[in-house]
């Protein structure tokens, strides 16, 4: 079983490298956004699109085991989006992302965001071909998740702590979370936001705009 898994991952990594090279030539930054279900991935994407409107040409690849709910919600806001239904797979891999890229309209996107399948295990194991990985942890999920799912926190460039408007209603310990995350990944950027109130969102969108500008101009 270990040998089979290693072979699958090796094949996926080869496809992922091709995705990165292809989008690099096109000057399109690919961001892989991961989290548990209900943490606010779609909400963050919509807030991001609103903040970057007129500045960044954005497309979205949505992934779910079933349904088109998220893609329809994103498309209703005027964002180019495609829905990938994984049919039982709990993650996206690079081949699935390639299919999503082919299904998007032929535009010169500056930024493509993958909204990966909602869980903190499988998506962390598969390289999607993204140039940057980000994850969301919402306050209601608790501050112990880095202890339970260390790989997810280890591979990400950015951790967005969402729903900070719930902090006063919970025993979520921000200091403890930061300590646990930075012990796993000293280079990760940690941002505290609320998609509901708008608090902290500027730090996220400013970071993303800078990353896009650097990538497009490289």
CA dihedral 15, 18, 209, 36 (to 10 degrees): 0
pLDDT of residue 167: 97
- In this prediction, residue 85 has a pLDDT band, given cuts at 50, 70 and 90, of confident
Q: Listing from the earlier edge strand, what are the strands of the sheet with 189-192?
A: 80-85, 58-64, 111-115, 29-35, 132-138, 158-162, 189-192
What's the average model confidence in pLDDT over 33-41?
Answer: 96
- Closest by CA position to 45, among listed 120, 104, 113, 92: 113
The residue ranking higher by pLDDT, 190 or 2, is 190
Cα separation, 39 vs 141, in Å, equals: 8
Q: Tell me how far apart the alpha carbons of residues 169 and 32 are, in angstroms, rounded to a whole number.
A: 30
Beta pairing partners, 62 = 83, 115
Taking the C-alpha atoms of residue 24 and residue 8, their distance in angstroms, rounded to an integer, is 24
Q: What is the pLDDT of residue 1?
A: 39
Predicted confidence at residue 3, as pLDDT, reads 46
From residue 80, alpha-carbon distances to 77, 103, 111 in Å are 9, 10, 11
Q: What is the reported pLDDT for 91?
A: 86
Per-residue burial over 78-115, b = 16 or more CB atoms within 10 Å of its CB, e = otherwise? ebbbbbbebeeeebbbbbbbbebbeeeeeeebbbbbbb
**161-217 tens-digit pLDDT:** 999 999 999 999 999 999 999 999 999 999 999 999 999 999 999 999 999 999 988
Task: Give the count of domains, the chain.
Answer: 1
Mean pLDDT of the chain: 93
pLDDT digits (tens, 9 = 90+) for 141-167: 999 999 999 999 999 999 999 999 999
CATH number at residue 17: 3.40.50.300
In the chain, pLDDT over 70 holds for what percent of residues?
95
Domain range enclosing 136: 2-217
């Amino acid at each position: 079983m270990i040998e089979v898994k290693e072979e699958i991952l090796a094949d996926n990594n080869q496809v992922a490298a091709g995705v990165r090279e292809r989008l690099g030539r096109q000057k399109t930054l690919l961001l892989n956004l991961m989290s548990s279900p209900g943490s606010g991935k779609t909400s963050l994407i919509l807030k991001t699109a609103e903040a970057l409107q007129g500045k960044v040409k954005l497309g979205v690849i949505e992934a779910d085991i079933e349904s088109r709910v998220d893609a329809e919600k994103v498309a209703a806001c005027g964002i180019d989006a495609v829905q990938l239904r994984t049919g039982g797979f709990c993650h996206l891999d690079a081949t699935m992302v390639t299919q999503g890229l082919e299904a998007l309209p032929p535009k010169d996107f500056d930024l493509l965001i993958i909204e990966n399948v909602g869980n903190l295990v499988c998506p962390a194991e598969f390289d999607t071909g993204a140039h940057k990985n980000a994850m969301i942890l919402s306050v209601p999920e608790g501050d112990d998740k880095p202890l339970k799912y260390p790989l997810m926190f280890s591979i990400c460039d950015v951790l967005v702590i969402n729903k900070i408007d719930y902090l006063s209603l919970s025993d979520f310990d921000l200091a403890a979370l930061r300590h646990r995350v930075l012990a796993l990944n000293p280079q990760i950027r940690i941002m505290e936001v609320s998609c509901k109130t708008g608090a902290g969102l500027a730090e996220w969108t400013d970071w993303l705009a800078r990353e896009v500008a650097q990538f497009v101009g490289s």
